[in-house]
A = this chain, B = another copy of it.
Amino acid sequence: MFDILFCNADIITMCDENPVIRGGYVGINGKHITYVGNERPEGKAKRCIDCCHKVLMPGLVNTHTHTAMSLLRGYADDYALNEWLFDKVFPVEARLTEQAIEAGVTLGFAEMLRTGTTSISDMYYFQPKAAQIALDCGIRASFCNGIIAFDADAFNPESDRGVTETKILAERFHNAGDGRIKADASIHAEYTSSPKIWHFVNDMADKYGLNMQIHLSETKNEHENCIEKYGKTPTAILAENGVFERKAIAAHCVWLSEDDMDILASKGVSCAHNPISNLKLASGIANVRKMLDHGMNVALGTDGCCSNNTHDLFEEIRFASLLAKGTSYDPTALCAYDTLKLATVNGALAQGRENEIGRIKCGLEADIILLDLSSPITRPYYDPISAVVYSTSGRDVYMTMIQGKILYENGEYKTIDIEKAIANADSLATKITNGE
Interface residues of A, Cβ cutoff 8 Å to B: 71, 73-75, 77-81, 84, 107, 110-111, 114-115, 220, 276, 278-285, 308-312, 315, 318-319, 322-323, 325-333, 335-336, 374-383, 386-387, 389-391, 393-396, 418, 421-422, 425-426, 429-430, 433
Q: State in angstroms the CA–CA spacing of A418 and B379 once bound together.
A: 11
Q: State in angstroms the CA–CA spacing of A308 and B387 once bound together.
A: 11
Which of A84, A311, A393, A425 has most chain B Cβ within 10 Å?
A: A393
> Smallest CB–CB gap between A340 and chain B, Å?
12
Given contacts A71-B380, A309-B390, A325-B279, contact A422 B374 (CB under 8 A): yes
Q: State in angstroms the CA–CA spacing of A389 and B311 once bound together.
A: 15
Given contacts A77-B336, A280-B331, A374-B422, contact A379 B107 (CB under 8 A): yes
Q: Which residue of B lies closest to A388 (CB)?
A: B74
The answer on a CB contact under 8 Å between A379 and B422 is: yes
Q: State in angstroms the CA–CA spacing of A397 and B374 once bound together.
A: 17
The answer on a CB contact under 8 Å between A391 and B331 is: no
Contact of A326 among B110, B220, B279, B310 (CB under 8 A): B279
The answer on a CB contact under 8 Å between A73 and B375 is: no
The answer on a CB contact under 8 Å between B377 and A282 is: no
A283 contacts across to B, CB distance below 8 A = 326, 329
The answer on a CB contact under 8 Å between B77 and A326 is: no
Contact of A282 among B284, B331, B426 (CB under 8 A): B331
The answer on a CB contact under 8 Å between B429 and A322 is: no
A276 contacts across to B, CB distance below 8 A = 322
Contact of A74 among B330, B376, B383, B396 (CB under 8 A): B383
Q: State in angstroms the CA–CA spacing of A32 and B66 once bound together.
A: 46
The answer on a CB contact under 8 Å between B280 and A325 is: yes
A311 contacts across to B, CB distance below 8 A = 377
Q: State in angstroms the CA–CA spacing of A425 and B382 once bound together.
A: 12
Contact of A80 among B281, B284, B331 (CB under 8 A): B331
The answer on a CB contact under 8 Å between B376 and A107 is: yes
Q: State in angstroms the CA–CA spacing of A387 and B430 once bound together.
A: 16
Given contacts A75-B382, A335-B78, contact A115 B377 (CB under 8 A): yes
The answer on a CB contact under 8 Å between A285 and B336 is: no
A282 contacts across to B, CB distance below 8 A = 325-326, 328-331, 333
A421 contacts across to B, CB distance below 8 A = 376
A220 contacts across to B, CB distance below 8 A = 329
Contact of A393 among B279, B326, B395, B430 (CB under 8 A): B395
- Using A280-B325, A379-B425 as known contacts, list a sample of 18 further A-B pairs with CB atoms less than 8 Å apart, ordered by residue number in A: A73-B381, A75-B382, A77-B390, A78-B332, A78-B335, A110-B376, A276-B322, A279-B325, A280-B390, A281-B331, A282-B329, A282-B330, A309-B386, A309-B391, A312-B377, A312-B393, A376-B422, A393-B395
A79 contacts across to B, CB distance below 8 A = 331-332
Q: Which residue of B lies closest to A423 (CB)?
A: B379
A425 contacts across to B, CB distance below 8 A = 376, 379-380
> Smallest CB–CB gap between A38 and chain B, Å?
21
Q: Which residue of B lies closest to A78 (CB)?
A: B335
21 contacts between A and B (CB under 8 A): A74-B386, A74-B391, A75-B382, A78-B332, A78-B336, A79-B332, A107-B376, A107-B380, A111-B376, A114-B377, A278-B326, A279-B323, A279-B325, A280-B325, A282-B326, A311-B377, A315-B318, A376-B421, A377-B394, A379-B422, A382-B433
The answer on a CB contact under 8 Å between A393 and B393 is: yes
> Smallest CB–CB gap between A138 and chain B, Å?
15
The answer on a CB contact under 8 Å between B379 and A331 is: no
The answer on a CB contact under 8 Å between B328 and A377 is: no
A315 contacts across to B, CB distance below 8 A = 318
Q: State in angstroms the CA–CA spacing of A375 and B310 once bound together.
A: 11
The answer on a CB contact under 8 Å between B77 and A386 is: yes
Q: State in angstroms the CA–CA spacing of A54 and B114 once bound together.
A: 20
Contact of A376 among B75, B114, B381, B389 (CB under 8 A): B114
Q: State in angstroms the CA–CA spacing of A280 and B328 once bound together.
A: 11
